[in-house]
Amino acid sequence: MEMLSTHQLLASWRDIVAENRPHASIRIGDVQAVVAAHEEILTMRFIERMYAWADGPYYGLTLPDARARDLLVRALREADYLGVLTQHNWYFRPLSDMVIDHYGIKPERFFYAFENYYISKLPEFYDMFQDVKVLIVSGKGKTYRAVLERRYGWKGVVGVVPQWEWDKLDKARAEMDRHDYQVALVGAGLAGKILAAHAKETGHIGLDIGNAVDTCIQSDGDGQMAWDWPEVPRYGWMFGEQREKPPEE
């Protein structure tokens, strides 16, 4: 499986934005692989023995959930570029390969699923989107937007969709449709895969950037540009929840 390098992926995104071509880059991690595999490739009995989060709720999702599985698979099939893990532990690359084969997922290109982190450490990423009409889809979106505008001079951010939980997915899609944007930068976990695909399906560009949001916010918190920051992002589930307070209904 030939993969795009970090700089090839970023250059491809630059061309896609310049051409304003509907596109989705989506990453499949270990959680997404399990959701896609449950009751099709892996039994729930096996999953419940192996994954403590499986009986949920995990950000609003409890397995089994056939609708979640089917929506995720549909999103993965929409991916023009699919990010996959390369580690050989069975629950990383082998399970992802089983999902890809089982569902006949055939993206144009593959890339490493953690390229989002490496790209978030490049000045070119921040330069590329400075004047693009960007919609941020993330539970940390307000903070991310503030940092991008203040530290990196972004002028084109048109709005934020504060995606929180799986059960708010339909609301997030409807809110995305109310914005006039070119690129959706999506850092919203499992739901983010469906939302990146939704951007493409509605004629936009959806980029599943995941923890690139955390890199930007946390490096700023340490008073540094992302490319100078020597750390790696700390995740909410490991170090205490970091998401913003959800808006009032």
| pLDDT grade for 242, boundaries at 50, 70 and 90 | very low
Question: For residue 90, what are the contacts with CB-CB under 8 A and spacing of at least 6?
Answer: none
Quick one: which of 19, 163, 174, 16 has its CA closest to 80?
16
Quick one: which of 151, 86, 162 has its CA closest to 123?
151
More confident residue, 234 or 207: 207
Domain residue spans in the chain?
Answer: 21-113, 116-230
Give the tens place of pLDDT for each residue, 109-137. Answer: 999 999 999 999 999 999 999 999 999 99
pLDDT of residue 236: 55
Contact at 8 Å (CB) between 114 and 138?
Answer: no
Does the pLDDT of residue 145 top 50, yes or no? yes
| pLDDT grade for 194, boundaries at 50, 70 and 90 | very high
> What secondary structure letter does DSSP report for 10?
H
Helix or strand holding residue 89 (H, E): none
Does the pLDDT of residue 201 top 70, yes or no? yes
Q: What is the dihedral angle through the alpha carbons of 203, 17, 191, 44, rounded to the nearest 10 degrees?
A: 100
Provide the b/e sequence for 103-133 (b: ≥16 CB within 10 Å): bebebebbbbbbbbbbbbbeeebbebbeebb
For the structural domain made of 116-230, what CATH number should be given? Answer: 3.40.50
